[in-house]
Copies of this chain bind each other. A is one copy, B any other.
Amino acid sequence: MIGPQFSPDFMAQLDLLFRWRRDVRHFDTRPLAAGLLDQLLDQAMHAPSVGYSQPWRFVRVCTPARRNAIIAHVEQENARAASLYEGGQRTAYDALKLHGLKKAPEHLAVFCDIGTATGHHLGRRTMPETLIYSTVIVIHHLWLAARAQQIGLGWVSILDPAKLIELLDIPATWQLVGYLCLGYPAEAADVPELEREGWEKRLDHQHTRLQR
């Protein structure tokens, strides 16, 4: 046996965490306890990164003017996205709640420093995109760590990264990977919202696997 062995009870609870990880769009306005966000980020920084590059950078967005400008931008982009659907699909789209930016007590922008020298470029000569991938994984890590402490996370992608970079005044080599809401969920769900609302079904796993 190499390393810790996990009990069947732990694995059942881990499975529960995976199922309840969910993208949360309905938040309570209750703030996170002081220091909790930093603690979650500390935990997320145990994520793997290509060549140990640790390229993730976090920007906590607190200023009301900045939060509001970002919300206005997302609503504008969402209206544009809606206009691409027609008929019943448009009606279905309009009925979906796609972000919880207004109520979520925390907004967190996550960037990848594509100019970092940490890790001395190991492992990313042929696939430089792995630097971004490492940042994606730190977000997923944060998602799970947060959920384990009852905190929901929602990832908002209906936005123009260039606009966010302009609004947040960040270093030139940082590339936006995700804009996140965090807070206590206002409703319970262990099924994806888009599945509950009939937008899309769970894919049959047989369609995702080949052997060579």
Contact = CB atoms under 8 A, between A and B. Distances in A.
Interface of A: 1-7, 10-11, 13-23, 38, 41-43, 45-48, 50-54, 56-63, 66, 77, 80-81, 84-85, 89, 93, 96, 98, 109, 118-127, 129-130, 132-133, 136-137, 139-141, 143-145, 148-150, 152, 155, 157-161, 168-170, 177-178, 184-190, 192, 194-195, 199-200, 202-203, 205, 208-212
A5 B81 contact: no
Contacts of A81: 122-123, 125-126
Contacts of A5: 150
- Copies of this chain, whole number: 2
Given A4-B20, A48-B140, 19 more contacts: A1-B150, A3-B150, A5-B150, A14-B148, A18-B43, A19-B46, A21-B46, A41-B205, A45-B205, A51-B200, A52-B199, A59-B210, A60-B209, A84-B125, A98-B123, A120-B200, A123-B158, A136-B140, A144-B144
Task: Return the 10 tightest CB-CB contacts between A and B, nearest first.
Answer: A52-B194, A52-B200, A54-B203, A136-B136, A133-B136, A2-B185, A127-B157, A18-B46, A137-B140, A130-B157
A45 to B, nearest CB: 6
A96 to B, nearest CB: 8
Given A1-B150, A210-B59, A133 B177 contact: yes
18 contacts: A2-B150, A3-B185, A3-B188, A4-B20, A6-B149, A18-B43, A23-B48, A48-B192, A50-B157, A58-B208, A60-B211, A96-B122, A126-B158, A127-B161, A133-B133, A137-B137, A140-B140, A169-B212
